[in-house]
Amino acid sequence: MREISYADAVVEAIEEEMDKHEEVFVLGEDIGRYGGAYFANPKLWKKFGDERVRDTPISESAIVGFALGAAITGMRPVAEIMFSDIMTVAMDQIVNQVAKMRYMFGGNVKVPLVIRTPIGGFHNSAAQHSQSLESWFAHVPGLKVAMPSSPYAAKGLLKTAIQSNNPVIFFEHIQLYRLKGPVPEEEYYIPFGEANILREGTDLTVVASAVMVHRVMNVANKLEEQGIQIEVIDPQTLCPFDKETILSSIKKTGRLFVVHQACKTCGFGAEIAAIVAEEGFDYLIDPIQRLAAYDIPVPFASNMEDFAIPNEQRILSAITEFLGK
Ligand X SMILES: Cc1ncc(C[n+]2csc(CCOP(=O)(O)OP(=O)(O)O)c2C)c(N)n1
Binding site for another protein (CB under 8 A): 29-30, 32-35, 37, 40, 42, 55-61, 85-86, 89, 123-129, 294-297, 299-308
- To the query of whether residue 129 is one of the catalytic residues in this protein, the response is yes
Nearest distance from residue 204's CB to ligand X, in Å? Answer: 40
Partners of 234 in the β-ladder: 196
CA distance 246 to 256: 9
Question: Which is nearer to another protein, 35 or 235 (by Cβ)?
Answer: 35
Output the residue with the shortest Cβ distance to ligand X. Answer: 86
If the CB atoms of residues 32 and 280 are measured against another protein, the closer one turns out to be: 32
- Smallest gap from Cβ 292 to another protein, in A, equals 14
Per-residue x/- marks for ligand X, 39-78, CB under 6 A? -------------------x-x------------------
Which of 123, 129, 139, 214 does the annotation list as catalytic?
Answer: 129
How far apart are CB 241 and another protein at their closest, in Å?
30
Angstrom distance (rounded) from CA 183 to CA 152? 5
Cβ of residue 57: shortest distance to ligand X, in angstroms? 9
Instruction: Report if residue 115 touches ligand X, rule: CB under 6 A.
Output: no
Q: Taking CB under 6 A as the rule, does residue 82 contact ligand X? A: yes
Torsions phi, psi for 99 (to 5 deg): -70, -30
Helix (H, G, I), strand (E, B) or coil at 66: helix
Q: Which is nearer to ligand X, 35 or 151 (CB)?
A: 35
Whole-angstrom distance, CA of residue 195 vs CA of residue 184: 20
Residue closest to 76 by CA, chosen among 156, 141, 170, 164: 164
Closest approach of another protein to the CB of residue 116, in Å: 17
Report the residue number, 65 or 280, with the smaller CB distance to another protein: 65
Q: Which is nearer to ligand X, 159 or 173 (CB)?
A: 173
Dihedral (Cα; 199, 202, 207, 212), 10-degree rounding: -50
Are 205 and 248 contacting, i.e. CB atoms less than 8 angstroms apart?
Answer: no
The number of angstroms, rounded, from the C-alpha of 82 to the middle of its chain's C-alpha atoms is 15
Please answer whether residues 121 and 211 qualify as being in contact, where contact means their C-beta atoms are separated by less than 8 angstroms: no
- Beta-carbon contacts of residue 57 (< 8 Å; ≥ 6 apart): 29
Given the rule CB under 6 A, which residues bind ligand X?
Answer: 29, 58, 60, 82, 86, 89
List the catalytic residues. Answer: 129
